[in-house]
Amino acid sequence: MKDSEHPFFRPLWRRIAVVAVCVIWSIIEFATGTPFWGTIALGFAGYAVWQFFYLYKPADENKAPAESEPKE
């Protein structure tokens, strides 16, 4: 299991909150005149979007239900 598939991140609002915190952090860094840290925080936000929205597959979708298995 990857960390992005941890049960903590199952609710959509938590994944959105992590991305929002990274974006807000980036805005604050750019506003205070530290573009290096702003770029790093923006990179975190981009990576979070990639992991939490593009590649994310909940654990429930990966498992086949037991009822669909043929019983002998």
pLDDT in tens, 28-64: 999 999 999 999 999 999 999 998 888 877 666 555 5
Interatomic CA distance for residues 53 and 43, integer angstroms: 15
For residue 13, the Cα-to-chain-centroid distance in whole angstroms is: 10
Q: How confident is the model at residue 67 (pLDDT cuts 50, 70, 90)?
A: low
User: Any idea what the Cα angle at residue 47 is, between residues 41 and 49, rounded to 5°?
Assistant: 105
Which pLDDT score, from 0 to 100, does residue 58 have? Answer: 66
DSSP helix/strand/coil, 72: coil
Interatomic CA distance for residues 55 and 41, integer angstroms: 20
Predicted model pTM? 0.72
